[in-house]
Structure 1
Amino acid sequence: MLNSEKIGNEFYQNLGMLFYAVAMVDKHVRPAEVTRLRKYVRQHWLDLDGFEDEFHTDAAYQIEIVFDWLDGEEKDGEAYFNEFKEFYKDHPEKFPPKVKDLIVETAESIAKSYAGKNKSEMLIIFRLKQLFTH
């Protein structure tokens, strides 16, 4: 696998971790949050670039695959937010303004999908926005 393909897959896998952290921040991943994530992947993330995984599937599906796997683990999302943060710091070139905007939009949509944003969801989105501005 070429290094750029590896980084492309890692990019989407880290997004899966981030979006799981947003959904899990209140200690529960709700079906509405999963539905919203899938909708965003199909409507926005699949068209972002031409990266494919080793199975010649759009690499953006890695977002869903990782999210689903982590949901089965039922662990706290804070560690996954931190992993995303490290990936972001190591690969800032993968995050032009358009991508950052889509990440924040997706995270906010997931947070709002079940009874609006609660305090813990607002806080993690605030931390994400801070990360992108520093």
Structure 2
Amino acid sequence: MLNSEKIGNEFYQNLGKLFYAVAMADNNVRPKEVERLRKYVRQFWLDVDDVEDEFHTDAAYQIEIVFDWLEGEEKEGDEYFNEFKDFYKDHPEKFSESLKKLIVETADSIANSFAGKNRSEMLTIFKLKQLFNH
């Protein structure tokens, strides 16, 4: 696998971690949040680039795969936010302004999908916006 493809797959996997951290901010991932994530992946993320995973499917599906896998784990959402943050700091060139905007929009949408944003979700999104502004 080419290094750029490996980084591309890691990019989407880390987005899965980030979006899971947003959904898990209130310690509960709700079906509406999962639905919203899937809708955004299909509506917006599949068109971002042409990177494919090792099975020749659009790498953007890695967002859903990682999100689903994390639901079975026992870690706190903050840990996954920090893993995303580390990836972002290691590969800032992968994050154009338009991608950052789409990432924040997706996170906002997930947080708003169930009874509006709560305090923990707002804090996670605030940390994301701060990360992108530095």
User: How many residues are paired up?
Assistant: 134
In structure 1, what residue type is equivalent to 2:62? Answer: Q
In structure 2, the gaps of 5 or more residues are none
Q: For 1:128 and 1:45, locate their aligned partners in 2 and report how far apart those are by CA, in whole Å.
A: 18
Q: For residue 64 of structure 1, report the CA deviation from its aligned partner.
A: 0.1
What amino acid does structure 1 have at the position aligned with 2:45? W
Measure, in 2, the Cα distance between the counterparts of 1:20 and 1:120.
13
Compute the TM-score of the two structures, normalised by the length of structure 1: 0.99
2:53: which partner in 1?
53
- Aligned pairs for 1:57-96 (under 5 A) are 57-96=57-96
Q: 1:50-97: per-residue Cα shift (whole Å, max 9, x none)? A: 000000000000000000000111421100000000000000010000
Partner of 2:42: 42
Give the SS at the match of 1:117.
coil
Structure 1 partner of 2:101:
101
Which residue in the other structure is 2:128 paired with? 128
Q: Which SS does the other structure have where 2:47 is aligned?
A: coil
Letter in 2 for 1:32: K
CA-to-aligned-CA distance 1:3-37 (integer Å, 9 cap, x gap)? 00000000000000000000001000000000000
Equivalent residue of 1:19, what SS? helix
Q: Which amino acid aligns with 2:84?
A: F
Structure 1 stretches (4+) deviating beyond 3 angstroms? none
User: Deviations 1:99-125 (Å, cap 9, x if unpaired)?
Assistant: 000000000000000000000000000
Structure 1 unaligned regions, length at least 5:
none
Give identity over the alignment, percent: 80
SS at match of 2:44: helix
TM-score (norm 2): 0.99
Residue 31 of structure 2 aligns with an amino acid whose one-letter code is P
Out of 116-125 and 69-78, give the one that drifted further.
69-78
